[in-house]
Amino acid sequence: MTKILGLTGGIGSGKTTVSKMFCALGVPVYNADDEAKVLMHTSEKIKSEIIKVFGENAYVGNTINRSLVAQIVFKDKHKLKAINAIVHPEVARHFDQWLSQQSCPYVIKEVAILFEIGAQDQFDFILTVTAPKQNRIDRVMKRDKKTADEVHSVIQNQWDEPKKIEKSDFVIHNINLKNTEIEVKRIHKEILKAIV
C-alpha cells in the first residue's frame, strides 16, 4: 500500500521548491493547488456551484475570475469556507484516481492549507516547510506581483507556523537551498526506512 506524505507550509515558504527536490529523487508529487485550478476551469459541477455562491461575475467564459474571487474570500471567512467545500472534495476524488495509478513506496500530496481544511488524518506523514515571514512576503511579492498587504491577507487565513510544526512529523526550515536539499534527502531516507 503506497504511503502518503502531506507537504504543507505557508504561502511563500517554498513548498514547490521542496516538492521538486523530492521529485528529483523519484517521488511522485500531486500538487493539490495546481489540480484545483485545473478543475475550477474544467469541471462544470464546480463552475455552477461557484457561480451560485459568488455570482455570474465569478467566471469570464470558462475562466474563473481569480482576482474577484480572491478579493471576496480573503475578506469573508464564510465565503472562503464555501469555496473550499466546493473544490476540495473534487480534488480529493481526483487525487484518489491519481494515487491508484502509482506504484512507488510513497507519494507526496502538496496541500497549502492541509491543516486549515482539517485534512491531517488523511496522511501517513506530514512535512511542513517554513521560512522567515519577511522572506515569504518578499518571495510572493516578487513571484505573484502582489502587494505586501495582499500577501498579509493570505497569511492571516493560514495557521501560524508553530501550530503546524507541532502537528508535523518533519519540518524543513527553507532558508538556504543547499541545507534544504540535505534535509529532503534525509527525510526521504527516513520515510523509506519507516515503510519498508
Residue 119 has phi, psi (to 5 degrees) of: -95, 5
Strand bridging mode 106-110 / 3-9: parallel
- The pLDDT value given to residue 74: 79
Classify the phi-psi angles of 8: left when phi > 0, otherwise alpha if psi is within -120 to 50, otherwise beta.
Answer: beta
- The pLDDT value given to residue 116: 86
Q: What residues pair up with 127 in beta bridges, in sequence order? A: 7, 170
Angle, helix 77-99 to helix 66-73, in steps of 10 degrees: 120
Q: Which of 33, 11, 58, 7 is nearest to 153 (CA)?
A: 11
User: Residue ranges of the chain with pLDDT lower than 70?
Assistant: none
d(CA 6, CA 121): 10
Q: What residues pair up with 33 in beta bridges, in sequence order? A: none
* 94 in Cβ contact with 37 (< 8 Å): no
- The pLDDT value given to residue 44: 93
Residues 49-67 as b or e (16 or more Cβ within 10 Å = b):
bbeebbeeebbeeeebbee
- The pLDDT value given to residue 186: 98
Q: pLDDT tens digits, residue range 110-163?
A: 999 899 888 999 999 999 999 999 999 998 998 988 888 888 888 887 888 899
Q: Which three cell numbers stand for residue 162?
A: 508553530
Q: Which three cell numbers stand for residue 121?
A: 488524518
User: If you search the block for the grid coordinates 455562491, which residue do you land on?
Assistant: 53
- The pLDDT value given to residue 178: 97
How much is the pTM? Answer: 0.89
